[in-house]
Amino acid sequence: MEENQELPEKKAPASVPSEISITEADVSSRYDDVYELFSPDHCDTVRWMEGAYEFVCKNGICLRVHISAPGIVRLRYTPNGQFERDFSYALRPNLENEKVTVKLTETDNEYLLVSGDIQVVVTKAGLRVRFYNADDRLLCEDAGGYSARRTVLKGWSEMKVEKKYQRKEVFYGLGDKTCSANLQGKKFENWCTDSFAFGRETDPLYRAVPFYYALTQGLAYGIFLDNTFRTHFDFNSAGDNTVSFWSEGGEMNYYFIYGPDLTTVARGYARLTGSHALPPMWALGYHQCRWSYYPHTRVTEIADTFRKLQIPCDAIYLDIDYMDGFRCFTWNYDHFPDPKGLIDELRDKGFQTVVMIDPGLKADPNYAVYSEALHKTTCSKNTDGQVAYAPVWPGFCGFSDFTDPEVRKWWGRSVPCIVPQRRCIRVLERHE
């Protein structure tokens, strides 16, 4: 090569997408992940199965429609023809289906299910669903309908339903959200999160309830997505006249609850998930809560000041500083030498005492509750079978597996260690 001759310029390698559809992937290239999309093609089989109608497509996707009570319709989808075990943490344990009459008719393009005040239409092409009341007024209808996404690394990672947004339709619900009551035009993620010092646009937050109300032209309905995975809800945020909800795993399993008014929808939702007992009168009053009041004399000073200034107050909270090194079911006797005496004194002054409990048990072999948890194998585990640890206030902690009924009983039996004879109220904090 001659002196001062310029070297040929190297071409930059073509960028490879980090994630690509299986239809576009090149076997000679490497990708971070490869995905495949599934959607219903044409329904060619209808069958009665386990008290519900199943609509089966040629490509194996199946929709099961079950009218479980007047005005309540359950819809379950499977992308491969195999439904998951029918179990829910959200539904009442003693929930029973009501006896209803369902009539099925068929046209060239659709199936129609009629039961009482509700009509459900399922199209043969695409399994798109429409809901009507007995007066043939449209309540809710699918746009794109059901779809599923599977990747090589994540498996089934998105189960989605897309519906049409109706003009002037409004939406409420989903638990803690920082926006206005009407969710229309917004998009949300539901995943219980410790969002300390959250702001106006923070999402997600502490509580996540995968249920929303819709009100359109004076008629109300509700959608309850019974899925414990991370979920997403989009109420026409892009202005494309669609409303969609999806989960990052599990099964597309949702309930359509007809009103016609919002109160009836609420009753239908309560029928499914249950309702709590009426709270005592004092629970409706003002509660004084902050992090944190200690020692004993500071708590009584707060109580006496409320009474001196004649400020109504029914409860005082003790945050985790009442504990011994943030260990659950213990007291710091340097700060609170006589817990029972303090609680009795506050009650005599008209205050209920509420103490905080965290689900994390300090990983300390000299801490009796933690040692018992390990012995009884109550702690949640990683996929390798080892106890799952994470840092909280006391340092690294193990977390009780509350999905196990026996663990819940064990935890309940430990509560009297704080104060016997139910002299105070316990609040399980940081459960997100």
Confidence (pLDDT) at 415 = 77
Higher pLDDT residue, 415 or 371?
371
pLDDT tier at 186 (50, 70, 90 boundaries)? very high
Domains and CATH numbers, the chain: 43-273 (2.60.40.1760), 281-428 (3.20.20.80)
**SS3 category, 429:** coil
pLDDT at 202 over 70: yes
Q: What is the pLDDT of residues 113-160, one digit of tens each?
A: 999 999 999 999 999 999 999 999 999 999 999 999 999 999 999 999
Confidence (pLDDT) at 337 = 95
pLDDT at 42 over 70: yes
pLDDT at 12 over 80: no
Percent of the chain clearing pLDDT 90 (strictly above): 79
Confidence (pLDDT) at 432 = 46
The CA-based angle 408-412-414, given to 5 degrees, is 120
The residue count of the chain comes to: 432
Cα 400 vs. chain centroid, distance in angstroms?
Answer: 19
pLDDT at 2 over 60: no
pLDDT tier at 27 (50, 70, 90 boundaries)? confident
pLDDT at 51 over 50: yes
User: Which residues pair with residue 253 across a beta bridge?
Assistant: 76
Beta strands in 70-203 (DSSP E): 72-78, 103-106, 110-115, 118-123, 129-133, 138-151, 155-164, 170-173, 187-190
CB neighbourhood size of 369 (10 A): 19
Write the CA distances from 339 to 141, 299, 397, 412, integer angstroms: 58, 11, 25, 20
301 contacts 282 by C-beta, under 8 angstroms: no
* Residue 284 DSSP class: G
Residue found by looking up tokens 């002299």 in the block:
423
Backbone angles phi, psi at 411, to 5 degrees: -60, -45
416 cis-preceded (ω within 30 degrees of 0): no
pLDDT at 28 over 80: yes
pLDDT at 1 over 80: no
pLDDT at 311 over 70: yes
Higher pLDDT residue, 193 or 300?
300
Q: Can you give the C-alpha Rg of the chain in angstroms? A: 28
Write the CA distances from 409 to 116, 201, 401, 402, integer angstroms: 42, 39, 11, 9
Looking at residue 328, its amino acid is C
Indicate the average pLDDT of the chain. 92
List, in order, residues 6 or more apart from 313 with CB less than 8 Å away. Answer: 285, 286, 287, 288, 306, 351
Confidence (pLDDT) at 11 = 55
Q: What is the pLDDT of residues 241-278, one digit of tens each?
A: 999 999 999 999 999 999 999 999 999 999 999 998 89
List, in order, residues 6 or more apart from 238 with CB less than 8 Å away. Answer: none
- Can you state the angle between helices 296-308 and 339-348, rounded to 10 degrees? 0
Confidence (pLDDT) at 428 = 60
pLDDT tier at 78 (50, 70, 90 boundaries)? very high
Cα 302 vs. chain centroid, distance in angstroms?
Answer: 37
Interval 172-193 mean pLDDT: 93
Q: What is the pLDDT of residues 96-118, one digit of tens each?
A: 999 999 999 999 999 999 999 99
pLDDT at 170 over 60: yes
Interval 5-22 mean pLDDT: 65
pLDDT at 414 over 50: yes
Beta strands in 325-379 (DSSP E): 352-357, 360-362
61 contacts 90 by C-beta, under 8 angstroms: no
Write the CA distances from 235 to 164, 177, 203, 345, integer angstroms: 10, 14, 15, 51
Structure pTM?
0.89
The token pair that represents 149 in the structure block: 């996404």
Please, is 287 exposed, middle or buried when counting C-beta atoms within 10 Å of its C-beta (0-12, 13-18, 19+)? Answer: middle
Confidence (pLDDT) at 427 = 64
pLDDT tier at 13 (50, 70, 90 boundaries)? low
Higher pLDDT residue, 48 or 18?
48
- Residue among 139, 131, 138, 135 nearest 112 (CA): 131
178 contacts 186 by C-beta, under 8 angstroms: no
Confidence (pLDDT) at 292 = 87
